[in-house]
């Protein structure tokens, strides 16, 4: 069962690379996560099962098996595992900037709008890969800001695959399974609750909640007299057409308001109660790519550049370069898929569906 190509660590190995489990960087339902350093100086994260954890060999094996068969730049990579009698652990790549949840609540270094859209776009690419490129495809089942990790360059990667399940890519054949996940992110479609059946659209719903968190800085469940679920909070405030009232006040600098409207519209569509009305992750990726291109282009205009905006046609291997800035050129080249859709000048307020 544990015949993996990845490295097998002993308990003594883990003690050595983590300096006897000194640097704890997080704790979850499975156990604690520690920073380790391999012999070649590579930093890794070691997720060690707690003795009190309700999750055991089954969940560890599921995550290890899922991680070893997914290969995408926006999914965390498995380095190895440990199944010694006194220790069960997974070793995977270390993400220096922690979780998206932590970054969204970081008042000292708040994320800019461009950084937020790029993180959303990269996370969507990871989910799209799980739904369409894996064989068989995977439903993550626990998409949330705490399971999106960021490296030193703030590149996003989806983590924690212990609850993931393979599914038939035929939408008429949903997976029947126990209801799992995190409150606030759970699919509200009644078919899910009554039958336990879910499809990839359940991940789409959870991603919609994540996208609303990215835009608003609010948690999924907002406290106080005007609180409730973030989807209801957003729709109520947007009923007056005031987009500024939902934007995270910690977000520094300027941003393209059309890009914000576009992503808010997309998030609300993803978070529809009826799963049939939600877009696929393919559509989500295309929409977020356009939004990021829009923000990059208007950032150049704000900085004084009047040269090329994001082109509407390019090949998959092109490195698209404009004179906006060196960073913008990097952002452009990062986004590689076929031609963009509507013009960046669309006023997305007019298309928002309340």
In the annotated binding site for ATP, the residues are 47
Cβ proximity of 63 and 47 under 8 Å: no
The full length of the chain comes to 354
C-alpha to C-alpha distance for 15 and 115, rounded to whole angstroms: 36
The H or E element that residue 286 is part of is helix 281-302
SS3 48: strand
Question: Is residue 304 classed exposed, middle or buried when 0-12, 13-18 and 19+ CB atoms within 10 A define those classes?
Answer: exposed
Question: Inter-axis angle of helices 201-216 and 257-270, to 10 degrees?
Answer: 150
- Residue 351 token pair: 């298309």
What share of residues in the chain are helix, strand, coil (percent, to 5)? Answer: 40, 15, 45
Token pair listed for 233: 């909070």
SS3 321: coil
Per DSSP, the three-state class of 203 is helix
Cα 2 from Cα 26, distance rounded (Å): 26
Q: How many CB atoms lie within 10 A of CB 348?
A: 21
Beta strands, E only, the chain = 7-8, 24-27, 31-37, 43-49, 78-84, 87-93, 138-139, 148-150, 156-158, 165-166, 175-176, 197-198, 221-222, 228-229
Of the residues 13, 142, 203, 263, only one is catalytic, namely 142
Instruction: Give catalytic status of residue 203 as yes or no.
Output: no
Report the catalytic residues.
142
């Amino acid at each position: 069962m544990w015949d993996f190509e990845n490295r097998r660590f002993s308990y003594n190995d883990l003690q050595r690379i983590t300096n006897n489990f000194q640097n704890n960087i997080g704790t979850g339902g499975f156990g604690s996560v520690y920073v380790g350093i391999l012999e070649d100086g590579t930093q890794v994260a070691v997720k060690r099962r707690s003795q009190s954890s309700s999750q055991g060999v089954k969940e560890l094996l599921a995550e290890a098996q899922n991680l070893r068969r997914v290969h995408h730049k926006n999914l965390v990579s498995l380095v190895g595992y440990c199944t010694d009698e006194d220790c069960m652990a997974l070793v995977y790549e270390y993400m220096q900037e922690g979780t998206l949840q932590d970054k969204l609540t970081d008042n000292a270094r708040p994320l800019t709008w461009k950084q937020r859209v790029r993180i959303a776009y990269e996370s969507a690419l990871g989910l799209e890969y799980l739904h369409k490129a894996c064989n068989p495809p995977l439903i993550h089942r626990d998409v949330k800001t705490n399971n999106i990790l960021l490296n030193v360059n703030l590149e996003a990667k989806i983590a924690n695959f212990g609850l993931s399940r393979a599914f038939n890519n035929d939408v008429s054949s949903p997976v029947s399974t126990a209801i799992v996940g995190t409150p606030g992110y759970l699919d509200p479609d009644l078919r899910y609750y009554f039958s336990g059946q879910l499809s990839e659209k359940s991940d789409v719903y959870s991603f919609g909640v994540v996208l609303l968190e990215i835009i608003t800085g609010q948690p999924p469940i907002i406290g106080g007299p005007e609180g409730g679920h973030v989807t209801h909070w957003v729709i109520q405030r947007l009923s007056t057409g005031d987009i500024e009232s939902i934007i995270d006040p910690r977000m520094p600098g300027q941003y393209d308001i059309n890009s914000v409207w576009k992503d808010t519209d997309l998030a609300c569509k993803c978070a529809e109660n009826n799963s049939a009305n939600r877009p696929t992750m393919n559509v989500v990726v295309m929409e977020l790519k356009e939004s990021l291109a829009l923000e990059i282009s208007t950032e150049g205009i704000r900085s004084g550049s009047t040269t090329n905006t994001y082109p509407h046609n390019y090949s998959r291997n092109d490195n698209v370069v404009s004179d906006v800035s060196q960073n913008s050129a990097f952002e452009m080249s990062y986004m590689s898929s076929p031609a963009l859709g509507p013009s960046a000048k669309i006023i997305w307020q007019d298309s928002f569906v309340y």
